[in-house]
Amino acid sequence: MKSIRILSSRGVQLIAIVLLFYICTLPILGVIFYGVSAEGDPMTAKDYLRLLGLFRNSVCLSLAVTVLAVLLAILATFTLFRLRFRGRKVLRVLMLAPLVNPTFVGTLSFIMLFGKRGLITYRLLHLNVSPYGWQGVLILQVLSLTTIAYLVLSGAVGSTDVALEDAARNLGTPEGQIFWKVTLPMMLPEMTAGALLVFLASMADFTTPLVIGGNFRTLASDLYIQITGVYDMKLASITGIFLLVPCFLAFCLQQHLSRRRKYATDQSTGQSIEYDFVAPWVKGLLIAGTSLLILFFMTIVLLEAEGQKTEYQQENAGDPGQLHIVHPGNLDVEVA
């Protein structure tokens, strides 16, 4: 019986390896092989320089998005899980609002808020600024991907063993040093995991640069254009190879950092993870910053819901002369 169980477990492992190779590894090898060996016009130095420029844009953008998203996620996680205040359970739920808002939908909402005729920039602040360019892509990706890092970090904070923090506190260590030398190092594996997810999502995002990037292009957006617009599969495959390299290196780096820092903790004692000693001004600043971030999330979600409602009213209106249209570039356009 024991030998049968061993054979069956090995059979399951073999099937899993074959499926993993067929689903994940084989398509990647196919893209690499097609990009290297496919017939077509040879790649010129100009083409490679253009791909290197797109590579730089993608990596720099993804690194900036990763740093900002993880920092905001740390701010929100510690505020909503380690501080005591009323309404934090509601804020935890609202923090997940971007998950129900697709990237393309959030892009349109962002244009409605910060476009040249946006609700905030034009109506409230009377500014004539353009949201198009790398700045708009950066802001949108940070807002949409912060929640991913927050989900990973919230699980780590919720299972933190505070015994180490209490031990450091009993030895007279200041709260700031406890945070930097005890709390954050214990969360490093989760922080790197969240950073990896954000980096990969930013590298793979092509809708945001296409809609709001203007002349700013990334490898993912150019890959989409090569497939659907130009239909140059050879160039698209080579672009995919350029896109694969930083993603694979980021995965290897995350695995290396996670293996260097592993901690065995025990949260079975049911101890409270909330901070007891926080300066009132620090607590107020953290709550205000997190609330402002969540308010921005909800504004984008509710604005898009209102836009869909307006579109539905347009489709079912009886008199075309009374239509009230919400347009991304110009928030309010009346049709006479």
pLDDT digits over 279-319, tens only?
788 888 989 999 999 988 888 777 765 554 444 344 444 44
pLDDT at residue 325, rounded to an integer: 38
**Model pLDDT, residue 168:** 82
Is pTM beyond 0.85? Reply is no
Q: Residue 158 in contact with residue 273, Cβ under 8 Å? A: yes
Q: Which of 15-19, 61-65, 262-266 is the least confident region?
A: 262-266
Inter-residue contact 54 to 221 (CB < 8 Å): no
User: Do residues 184 and 139 touch, judged by C-beta distance below 8 A?
Assistant: no
Complete domains list, the chain, with CATH: 46-262+269-327 (1.10.3720.10)
| Per-residue pLDDT tens digits for 245-257 | 999 999 999 988 8
Task: Give me the pLDDT at residue 276, please.
Answer: 61
CA distance 217 to 219: 7
Q: Would you say the C-alpha torsion 94, 152, 195, 18 has a positive or negative sign? A: negative
Helical (H) or strand (E) element with 105: helix 103-114
What tens digit of pLDDT does each residue of 100-155 get? Answer: 777 677 777 788 888 777 888 888 877 787 888 899 899 989 988 999 999 999 88
Q: Residue 151: exposed, middle, or buried by beta-carbon count in 10 A (0-12, 13-18, 19+)?
A: middle
DSSP 317-331: -S-GGG-EE--SSBS
Q: What is the DSSP letter of 279?
A: -
CA pair distance 166, 172, nearest whole angstrom:
10
The residue type at 54: L
